[in-house]
Amino acid sequence: MADSPAEEARPWGLVGFHFTLSHGIGPDRHLRASCRCCGRRVVFDPSPWMAQQLGGLALQSFEARLRCACGVRCASLEIWSGPAPVTGPDWSIYAFR
């Protein structure tokens, strides 16, 4: 059964595969953080970590540093295709420490 055109138009997301923070940054891709508890998903800006020269670390090493507005201290980071949508900052999932 073929996917519907709406499903084909959705951007892809990558997790696992030992991607680093740097892999998620570029004109053709961006990072999103996803809460494992409430399902909230937001575009995530890794620039503070990149400024600290942490781009070579695995995405999974940053997941314990994320907190969601629902109170969970762990979210997953995903690489999504295309440039990040132009929206105002969404701090519902944020980095701490």
Q: What is the pLDDT of residues 5-29, one digit of tens each?
A: 444 445 555 555 678 999 999 999 9
Q: Assess whether pLDDT exceeds 90 at residue 38.
A: yes
Q: pTM of the prediction? A: 0.74
Query: In which region does residue 7 sit, left (phi positive, over 0), alpha (psi from -120 to 50) or beta (all else)?
Result: alpha
Measured CA to CA, the distance from residue 74 to residue 1 in angstroms comes to 36
Rg of the chain (C-alpha set): 14
Phi, psi of 20 (to 5 degrees): -100, 170
pLDDT in tens, 60-93: 899 889 999 999 887 899 999 888 888 766 778 9
Give residue 45's region: left, alpha or beta (phi > 0; psi -120 to 50). Answer: beta
